Structure 1
């Protein structure tokens, strides 16, 4: 076990009782859709623990982050896959589309810039 694995395990243990800050969430990933492939796309869902946080006004101004975007934080030990751009994360009944992903070197916490998913015409929000 490397030092980074040990750090990840320690941070995961600290966030084991995540009910104070983190909510149950589901990361949904569509695979095999589009392109030249003739196989139908499939959707896979992964349970995780996540928290939605607002960006500060200063960071929004410096990094040109739109007002609707949020910081979506996912506990690294709570999920079995790496979040990717295009994934949809459902937290507290709201859907967020991942548009940028950052991770610390120990992969203990995923920090994603996410945008609200707009309901399709005719769908209840």
Structure 2
């Protein structure tokens, strides 16, 4: 068996690795309303794009950690992980070239991927 090792439980991994990375992608379709009005959260600067690129890369690479044998909950586990990996990679590729439409499309699709997995494993 390969020397893979989990260091944190799944909830901790979700809270500190997956969710923060996914939030970076989800945020591209968001807005904030405050006393001065509505503010679009889509990327506007190179630093904004770098943040999205980093979040997408983190999410894509983190899917490998989800496939550590000790984390697989059943035979369908890696099917869900593969969908997440493909979406994260698409977001990464889009962020690299500052393609807001691609990243926004992934943002919309990502929620469904996560929700389906959470429903399947009773994590809602």
Q: Mark yes or no: TM-score above 0.5.
A: no
Which structure shows the higher helix fraction?
2
- Range into which the TM-score falls when normalised by the shorter chain: under 0.3
